[in-house]
Structure 1
């Protein structure tokens, strides 16, 4: 499988400008050159919104054919003749609400009474979701995946998705799309060794785990890198640690040795609201 990630610095709220920037970055892609194109979490809107009111005008409903992200993802998919994954803020349409907790979703959250801190719990319920769409090479919407574990910045406007999911996709195999904080322990309070997302992928023999991200640079690395394009090895090592069940076959599901899962992390670059 050939995969390309679009990693750039979206400007908060500037959807038109961000759309043009993604077009510039993908203009050289030729039809059939890649099988999967991945954009970051909240790819066209930026990420740091303080309230539902602030982000309300940018919410999208792909089921109704609405939104800049669906329009761009469909354009890119048709142009490159590939599947596209793109993060976006989703309006809680009736269909989206119907899908919460539907069959096939795995709810990996620990009980609320086990959570002592409230920073990562939603403050606004059933209004919007931090989501990612999968679009087919013909430009049609295949599926919407919703962020299951929220980061503190999400809680000002988004609700929790119903659970982790996978989908069997011709040409891609069994794919799971999760979003950023989904790779962490739930609310950062469940046991590290639960490996919620990776264990789900191992149990269901997922072929490709795709994770659009707005992952923070560790505080001790801010200003310490030699250049803006230098990787954060501490971050990469942490991602690897959170995926331990996938590179230690049989750790959580004995008998699953021999299955390979590819992990695709597409993180944005740049800064917001500093």
Structure 2
């Protein structure tokens, strides 16, 4: 299977520019004619860091009918491949937790979503993020259907997730519950696709140094959250996990956010994204990385699951002390 991820430096509130950038990258680095899947980041064309319910309002898109979905349909039919891309969705569901507008109109629920389009332009799936990050909580509802795992055309059984989905729920669930990984594996997924807007704690000055080098601590963390998949691969069936993250910097318009539980989260002046989009393969309990992009590298990553991986990882045996360690070097 041939899979491409498009790692973007998305400019917040500039959908037209971001779409033009995506088109330019695909034109300058055209994927092969037998590409199976193209994956883009979370909120790929709108940008991610919206601090409030009102700030994202002008950029919401109707369910599988906005600018992002139209681009996905056009691109999927042109490249003859599946396309998965993130967007901010406004649905027809009534949000009972919100007061009607001043005109008496009901407020509709909003979701952080991905749309999946087939090579013929058919909408195959609209997944709504289940586990929300602090920023999402300011405007989005949790996806009511839970995690996604289903057949997606010629891709077979696929698990779909968005960024925070791989973390423990609200950072409070037990680390080893592995809610997302456990769910998609129980559904039989052999391909897991993650659209990301994953942050890094690296300062922007460090990101600018060797931008083509991945943020290995980020990739290592992602790997840890799929430990059940590594274990499941010992049964003899390979599992591939694709991460499509973004790069760049977005400014914080507010200095703190209050979570649904009342926790006040202090924010800095800006957020930086970790890039490092990659594809991992788990086979017979061993881990390899087919390929990956850098922490500040905008471009297209192409991998072929049928050829040897570029990187093999050595996993250290677990140490049963107060702390568990896993070597992802």
TM-score (norm 1): 0.82
Counterpart residue number, 1:102: none
Counterpart residue number, 1:69: 68
Between Structure 1 and Structure 2, whose CA radius of gyration is higher? 2
Are the equivalent residues in 2 in contact too, given 1:91–1:129 (CA < 8 A)? yes
Are the equivalent residues in 2 in contact too, given 1:29–1:80 (CA < 8 A)? no
Distance of 2:187 and 2:206 partners within structure 1: 40
Are the equivalent residues in 1 in contact too, given 2:150–2:187 (CA < 8 A)? no
Within 5 Å, which residues of 2 pair with 1:173-252? 173-219=156-202, 223-225=205-207, 226-249=209-232
Using the TM superposition, give the Cα deviation of residue 171 of structure 1 relative to its aligned residue in structure 2, in angstroms: 1.5
Are the equivalent residues in 2 in contact too, given 1:31–1:79 (CA < 8 A)? no
Alignment pair present for 1:270 and 2:248: yes
Distance of 1:131 and 1:93 partners within structure 2: 14
Counterpart residue number, 1:260: 238
Secondary structure of 2:247 counterpart: coil
Using the TM superposition, give the Cα deviation of residue 126 of structure 1 relative to its aligned residue in structure 2, in angstroms: 5.9
Distance of 1:130 and 1:217 partners within structure 2: 20
Counterpart residue number, 1:110: none
Counterpart residue number, 1:8: 8
Within 5 Å, which residues of 2 pair with 1:8-87? 8-27=8-27, 28-29=29-30, 32-63=33-64, 66-87=65-86
Counterpart residue number, 1:101: none
Are the equivalent residues in 2 in contact too, given 1:7–1:40 (CA < 8 A)? yes
Q: Which moved more, 1:31-40 or 1:83-92?
A: 31-40
Are the equivalent residues in 2 in contact too, given 1:51–1:156 (CA < 8 A)? yes
Q: Deviations over 1:35-66 (max 9, x none)?
A: 00001000000001122211112111134xx3
Secondary structure of 1:171 counterpart: helix
Counterpart residue number, 1:89: 88
Using the TM superposition, give the Cα deviation of residue 272 of structure 1 relative to its aligned residue in structure 2, in angstroms: 0.5
Are the equivalent residues in 2 in contact too, given 1:126–1:159 (CA < 8 A)? no
TM-score (norm 2): 0.69
Distance of 2:206 and 2:18 partners within structure 1: 28
Secondary structure of 1:52 counterpart: coil
Unaligned 5+ runs, structure 2: 96-106, 252-269, 271-329
Counterpart residue number, 2:118: 136
Tell me the C-alpha RMSD between the 2 structures.
1.9
Distance of 2:221 and 2:31 partners within structure 1: 34
Are the equivalent residues in 1 in contact too, given 2:112–2:129 (CA < 8 A)? yes
Distance of 1:201 and 1:67 partners within structure 2: 28
Using the TM superposition, give the Cα deviation of residue 258 of structure 1 relative to its aligned residue in structure 2, in angstroms: 2.2
Are the equivalent residues in 1 in contact too, given 2:110–2:140 (CA < 8 A)? yes
Unaligned 5+ runs, structure 1: 98-124, 251-255
Are the equivalent residues in 1 in contact too, given 2:130–2:147 (CA < 8 A)? yes
Are the equivalent residues in 1 in contact too, given 2:63–2:91 (CA < 8 A)? no
Q: Deviations over 1:145-192 (max 9, x none)?
A: 011000001111101112101121232110111100001000011000
More helix by proportion, 1 or 2? 1
Are the equivalent residues in 2 in contact too, given 1:14–1:45 (CA < 8 A)? yes
Q: Which moved more, 1:199-208 or 1:152-161?
A: 199-208
Distance of 1:202 and 1:166 partners within structure 2: 9
Secondary structure of 2:241 counterpart: strand
Distance of 1:218 and 1:126 partners within structure 2: 34
More strand by proportion, 1 or 2? 2
Distance of 2:231 and 2:108 partners within structure 1: 37
